[in-house]
Structure 1
Amino acid sequence: MAEDKSERAVEETVEEKPEAPLLTLRDGLPPIVETRAALDEVVGAVAAGTGPIGLDAERASGYRYSARAYLIQLRREGAGTALIDPIAFDDLNDLNEAFGGAEWILHAASQDIPCLREVGLVPTALFDTELAARLLGYPRVGLATLVEVIVGKTMRKEHSAADWSKRPLPEPWLEYAALDVEVLTELRDVLAAELEASGKTEWARQEFEALLSYETPARQDPWRRTSGIHKAKGRRALAAVRELWTVRDELAADLDTTPGRLIPDSAMIAAANALPTNGKMLMDTAGFHGRGARRYLDTWVEALKRARALPDNELPPVANRSDGPPQVRSWPDRDPVAAARLNTARAAVTALSEEWNTPVENLLTPDYMRRLLWSPPQVADEELEGAVGAELLTLGARQWQVDLMAPIIAEAIRNPGELDSPGAEAE
């Protein structure tokens, strides 16, 4: 007999886990701070407050070229929550002075530190709730997930991809933003206690200290990150992608808009492969489109013209030049001993990851280990572990990582094990 759908629905409803209550603002929604007088009030309140300061920033990713902050949220015990429009001020240096040496609480600090530094807010101590959760082995470390797991409340995330450069900012957006700092202190306290209980407090301290000076890393040949670039047909097409990417990036910076809103990456690939010689041919090229396709047509045509005129010896190589080791899949053929070293080290690191309940990539940046296993230090055996540790520190590893990983890497260099393939997952 066919299953009764109404009965099944009732059973599923009964078995479903009840949704956690919604997180709400304890003090109501504060007015946005956009005048000097209002900012002075916040500065005074923050200076008189106590304890760490929860901070967050909203950018306009996907809408603007810059990564500047368009809203800054903060909360401190005794001061409440403040929503600050940084666009209304030349800088926030006075607020930074009010912070003093207080600890900042950020979630995914590397995303916010650069844009906060732009407006004069520079941390002297911080606690990153996302990174702490990673070190503790939480399977999902998004803010909303941690709030649900630790605080027992749910958070709405419907405005996470909003255009925060919009003015005036709608009230529902402001409420969403204020909630992001509502329970950061509570999260911090729980995670700090768990770090202490698991013996990872010093790990976190070193990681947080390293974040204080974080800057967005510069990318070599950023045009090579064009989506679908593997479809470019040859070095001439790659040169065309490079020229189009460069002029698009410059134009986007001038207009303060996301480059993809002018012409998408797929349009650049289509134009690079076709290499049309005039505007009409370019507009007739299948796949060439975008909001700025026709408006900036002369710009795209000139870029393609430069690519066609390049001599062969100035065309970009198919593969990006790197000072690092080759791709792991080629190790067994190029250096079977290095491949065996990597196999041995990976097995040991996997076991260590399970022992400490910490992801492998947090134990050590995978590239660091690959570099050392491909080109080990040429020193006496008794000096090997120290040499490995010194090189890891030079690459950027923290001391806690060196203490855990240098013995493993040194042992893999001494005793590489069987000469077989480490597999594609080692990439």
Structure 2
Amino acid sequence: MLKQTEGQHPTAAHLVTDQHTLNLLVERLATESVLAFDLEADSLHHYTEKVCLIQVSSPSETRLIDPLASLDVRVLAPIFANPEIKKVFHGADYDMRSLYRDFGIEVVNLFDTMIASQFLGESEFGLAALLKKRFGVELDKRYQKADWSKRPLSTEMMEYAMKDTSLLIDLYRQLEAELVAKGRLSWVEEESELVAKVRYASREGELMCLRFKGANKMKPRELAVLEELLRFRDEKAKSADVPPFRILSNDLLRELAEKQPRSNFELVGIHTMSSKLIERLGRGILQAVASGLALPSDKLPQAQPGRRPMLDRSLEDRVKKLKVWREGKAAQLGLGVGLVANNALLEALAEPDSAQLALLKRWQREAFGDELAGLLA
């Protein structure tokens, strides 16, 4: 176990900063049947995000692992890959991507407590809401957006980080028992298994404007200007080591792409452009707009429509009927409509092809597969 040095705050004794201590911790964790994990990153504060802290709790201890302390965090990989150890996360999608991106770590036997709470019909399924409701514990939201790359970590930040996992195993056990009672444990296990397989994907080489929210509603020339503005913002953010949104907001970029200002005078007419912003970035913005306007017509980016066109009226009617069915089924099961079936699935099911039922997940086939087959017939 970790020893507390004289004058050290008790919380600091839980911080793992040397390889020997981490190796001993891994030996202990390998003997457990269930572990709770969480990650803290710095995506709100730096251009290239990274994992800055790994929290882990067993039934008997909680530790904070510092990846920034020259540790080989990959010694945790066998723990994460061991199918005999249940790994409990809350809202694991981002964590799965980050673990694989930074350390090449893959997770087997995941249980996502956020998914579990959704399948139990919880209206508020954030970790803070669940801990308050079930254990009377409050998380200090001040640290949700903290810069976890800063060292040393404050006592308050470490205490907050430890709370994220210290009750997660108890929460898991409560949720698991309730899921068993409802006959939905296998549903959550399947959904958790799918989340465990998500991976970080590099977007290098892709047009940034086509990933921009609302791009499908913009004209090709606006997209060309937007692409140049996004590249300009990205270069500035990389140089300053800050997230792009801290250079120029998405709302401002959209307005610039639509209004396409040609001069400082026209920039002043955009109400969200302050004089300081114009002085600092005005020249680069105008150059980006000019580059977008100069792009030949045959090279303009084309956004995909937000929703594929319906083939005919009868198909559209089938989708509407499926949505009505979904609302009723969601009410019957006490689940969100999107959890029962998303719109993409309903549109695929509406196609006159019985093979589309193969798109259902195992739990969906179990819960309402026969009913859907009858409806579609």
Normalising by structure 2, what TM-score?
0.84
Equivalences, count? 362
- Alignment correspondent of 2:5: none
- Alignment correspondent of 1:389: 357
Q: How does 1:350-365 map to 2 (within 5 A)?
A: 350-365=327-342
Cα separation, 2, equivalents of 1:147 and 1:338: 45
Q: Is the 8 A contact 1:30 1:83 kept in 2?
A: no
Cα separation, 1, equivalents of 2:212 and 2:273: 15
- Alignment correspondent of 1:94: 75
Q: Is the 8 A contact 2:89 2:112 kept in 1?
A: yes
- Give deviations 1:279-300, integer Å, cap 9, x for gaps: x567646343598765565643
- Alignment correspondent of 1:212: 196
Cα separation, 2, equivalents of 1:282 and 1:37: 61
Larger displacement relative to structure 2 (130-139 or 243-252): 243-252
Amino acid at match of 2:109: A
Describe the SS at the equivalent of 1:105: strand
Describe the SS at the equivalent of 1:271: helix
- Alignment correspondent of 2:4: none
Cα separation, 1, equivalents of 2:247 and 2:275: 6
Q: CA deviation at 1:175?
A: 0.6
Unaligned 5+ runs, structure 1: 1-26, 378-383, 415-427
Q: How does 1:359-378 map to 2 (within 5 A)?
A: 359-373=336-350, 375-377=351-353
Q: CA deviation at 1:215?
A: 2.0
Cα separation, 1, equivalents of 2:318 and 2:374: 9
Q: How does 1:7-406 map to 2 (within 5 A)?
A: 30-47=13-30, 49-78=31-60, 80-89=61-70, 91-98=72-79, 101=82, 102-117=85-100, 118-216=102-200, 222-224=208-210, 226=212, 234-253=219-238, 255-277=240-262, 280=264, 284=268, 286=270, 287-288=272-273, 294-295=279-280, 299-317=284-302, 320-322=303-305, 325-326=308-309, 335-373=312-350, 375-377=351-353, 384=354, 387-390=355-358, 392=359, 397-406=360-369
Amino acid at match of 2:38: D
Cα separation, 2, equivalents of 1:187 and 1:290: 51
Cα separation, 2, equivalents of 1:342 and 1:297: 48
Cα separation, 1, equivalents of 2:111 and 2:41: 21
Cα separation, 1, equivalents of 2:308 and 2:216: 21
Cα separation, 1, equivalents of 2:57 and 2:345: 38
The change in CA–CA distance for 1:32 and 1:282 in structure 2 (over 3 A counts) is farther
- Give deviations 1:152-201, integer Å, cap 9, x for gaps: 43333221111212222221111101110011110000101111110111
Q: CA deviation at 1:207?
A: 1.2
Amino acid at match of 1:56: D
The change in CA–CA distance for 1:214 and 1:273 in structure 2 (over 3 A counts) is closer
Cα separation, 2, equivalents of 1:323 and 1:410: 28
Q: Is the 8 A contact 1:69 1:115 kept in 2?
A: yes
Q: Is the 8 A contact 2:357 2:373 kept in 1?
A: no
The change in CA–CA distance for 1:60 and 1:290 in structure 2 (over 3 A counts) is farther
Cα separation, 2, equivalents of 1:149 and 1:242: 45
Larger displacement relative to structure 2 (82-91 or 52-61): 82-91
Cα separation, 1, equivalents of 2:285 and 2:113: 44
- Alignment correspondent of 2:3: none
Larger displacement relative to structure 2 (107-116 or 364-373): 364-373
Cα separation, 2, equivalents of 1:104 and 1:170: 27
The change in CA–CA distance for 1:83 and 1:92 in structure 2 (over 3 A counts) is same
- Give deviations 1:253-307, integer Å, cap 9, x for gaps: 45442101112223323433443456x5676463435987655656434422321
Larger displacement relative to structure 2 (97-106 or 360-369): 97-106
Describe the SS at the equivalent of 2:186: helix
Unaligned 5+ runs, structure 2: 1-9
Q: Is the 8 A contact 1:231 1:269 kept in 2?
A: no
The change in CA–CA distance for 1:288 and 1:273 in structure 2 (over 3 A counts) is farther
Amino acid at match of 2:365: V
The change in CA–CA distance for 1:119 and 1:216 in structure 2 (over 3 A counts) is closer
Identity in percent: 27
- Give deviations 1:53-79, integer Å, cap 9, x for gaps: 11001122322233421111111134x
Q: Is the 8 A contact 1:130 1:143 kept in 2?
A: yes
Q: Is the 8 A contact 2:47 2:241 kept in 1?
A: yes
Q: CA deviation at 1:236?
A: 2.4
Q: Which structure would you say has the larger Rg?
A: 1
Amino acid at match of 2:233: R
Q: Is the 8 A contact 1:283 1:289 kept in 2?
A: no
The change in CA–CA distance for 1:254 and 1:412 in structure 2 (over 3 A counts) is farther
- Alignment correspondent of 2:7: none
